[in-house]
Structure 1
Amino acid sequence: MTDQPIHVDPAVLAGVKDEFRALGRELRDAPDGVRRDAARVREGAGELGDLLADGVAAFELSWQAAFDATSETSGHIAANVGGFTLDLEALDLGNS
């Protein structure tokens, strides 16, 4: 490492934060598409829809969990861009 101070353009930091915040919003909205597609699968199965119900529900729930986790992570990253320390206790408590 160097003893030289680290310099960064505040506009660059703001842009990176904005990108991660936008990604978080997109990920929060993404399950709408999964729900729509799952409904199409159930409808397309017709009278066999009941046979697919458990699998479709598991599909929806797993994608919801993935989108929730990645959306939350994007928020944590956005909140910590440009920081030199990370409060792990606050992170564990969900306070990014």
Structure 2
Amino acid sequence: MALLKKLTEREIDRIIEMAWEDRTTFDAIFRQFGMPEKEVIKLMRREMKESAFKRWRKRVQNRQTKHQKNRPGGELYRFKCSRQKPISLNKIT
């Protein structure tokens, strides 16, 4: 939880963006921000409405693309889909 206090609003926004992106793994978030999956979940719970958080959790639980070790076809280190719209302050721009 101490890590959450050190993050800027822009970094929090980027982590949320990465967590919503289906092809961005929790491992990629950890490599870029040093935040493990459990901390990402705490951040998402804190920053999102309860209904949005529940929808996100349901979608990412056991999803192959969110966990590097479960991905079919080897390693993929993409942080962001090239077709993804940028998100600013948790709103799609």
Is TM (by shorter chain) over 0.5?
A: no
Q: Higher helix share goes to which structure? A: 1
TM-score by length of 2: 0.29
| TM-score, normalised with respect to structure 1 | 0.28
Larger radius of gyration: 1
